[in-house]
Amino acid sequence: MRVLILGGTSEASTLVKRLDPRIDATLSLAGRTSAPKREPVRTRIGGFGGPEGLTAWIAENRIEAVIDATHPFAAQIGRNAALTCKRTGVALLAIRRPAWERRPGDLWTEVETMAEAALALGEMTRRVFLTIGRLEVGAFTTAPQHDYVVRSIEPIGDALPVPRLAEIAARGPFDEAAETAFLAERRIEILVTKNSGGPATYGKIAAARALGIPVVIVRPPRKPDVASVPDAEGALAWLERRLDC
Ligand code: NAP
């Protein structure tokens, strides 16, 4: 069975490592990181050119099923996959990682966008830890009064031109003990994150709760209404069922 896996997440990584040998899979990455982790399946990198490009690619490669294993904050590619699969009749399954739920002790301010997150930091100067990836840090240019610590996989370049900025290049997962030490060492007063869900980056949420540090948390965008499972195991079971049909 020829399967396209739209990836860029830990779920996609788990999935491609455990595929049934009867599955001929291609993993697709957007190409946002310059040195993505190598995976044990054929990998293509770069956009398809919208739903039309994706439709053409699926036809050329005789794809029989698509797994949308993209990140909860990747809003566009899931819509393109839903539209393409509806038009072409190719089976589609999405892995939809549940968002984190607020727990007692969490000091969360929930917002819809990065622009709102920047506003939510307030007027007073604070030491802010930004763990939102590299691409959206520019939204905080509107709040230059803060001291920023930015952690991302790749350098942010000049995307956040503010007077006080420390950059840390690192790739998760990050556990709670390491995050607690980090927040304390860096004297972080407020954390900004996406509500990405999943265990790999939950450590900072648990650490902030334990230290009484407030968190500005961006809600995930709405995704199209398609068949979904919460994790890679669910997608493996779905593929097995299709193989057995
Ligand atoms: P997006 O807004 O949904 O996608 C923008 C465009 O990038 C899409 O229209 C598509 O271009 C291309 N694209 C996205 N994912 C692709 C994939 N897996 N394979 C081929 N092309 C892809 O996505 P994004 O927020 O820019 O994220 C890009 C990728 O990074 C996603 O695959 C996602 O899983 C991963 N990621 C995102 C975040 C995040 O916070 N956004 C965090 C971790 C990982 P065409 O229209 O030209 O096909």
- Give the atom of ligand 1 at the shortest distance from the alpha carbon of 69: 34
Q: What is the mean pLDDT of residues 202-209?
A: 98
Closest ligand 1 atom number to CA of residue 6: 18
CATH 3.40.50.720 residue window(s) in the chain: 2-97+222-244, 108-218
What gap in Å lies between CA 167 and CA 116, rounded to an integer?
A: 22
Take atom 29 of ligand 1 and give the residue whose Cα is closest: 30
What tens digit of pLDDT does each residue of 165-199 get?
999 999 888 999 999 999 999 999 999 999 999 99
Segment 17-76, tens digit of pLDDT: 999 999 999 999 999 988 888 999 999 999 999 999 999 999 999 999 999 999 999 999
Report which ligand 1 atom has the smallest distance to the Cα of 70: 34
> Which contacts of 148-151 are long-range, i.e. CB under 8 A and separated by 24 or more positions?
149/186, 149/188
Query: Each residue of 79-104: b (16+ CB within 10 Å) or e?
Result: bbbbbbbeeeebbbbbbbbeebeeee
Gap between the Cα atoms of 192 and 167, Å rounded: 15
Ligand 1 interacting residues, C-beta cut-off 6 A: 6-9, 28-30, 32, 47-50, 53-54, 70-71, 73-77, 80, 133, 194
Q: Which atom of ligand 1 is nearest to the CA of 7?
A: 18
Q: How far is the CA of 212 from the centre of ligand 1 (A)?
A: 34
What average pLDDT does the segment 133-162 reach?
Answer: 96
Nearest CA to ligand 1 atom 34: 70
What is the C-alpha separation between 142 and 88, in angstroms, rounded? 44
> Quick one: pLDDT band at residue 245, thresholds 50, 70, 90?
confident
CATH tag, 108-218: 3.40.50.720
Residue whose CA lies nearest to ligand 1 atom number 28: 30
Q: What is the pLDDT of residue 37?
A: 87
For 2-97+222-244, CATH number out of 3.40.630.10, 3.40.50.300, 3.40.50.720, 3.40.190.10 equals 3.40.50.720
What distance in angstroms lies between residue 7's CA and the mean position of ligand 1's atoms?
Answer: 8
Model confidence at 160: pLDDT above 90:
yes
pTM score, whole prediction: 0.94
What's the gap in Å between 122 CA and the centre of ligand 1? 31
- Which of the listed residues 16, 28, 58, 77 should we mutate to test ligand 1's pocket, taking the one with most ligand atoms within 8 A of CB? 77
Q: Determine the distance separating the centroid of ligand 1 and the alpha carbon of 210, expressed in angstroms.
A: 33
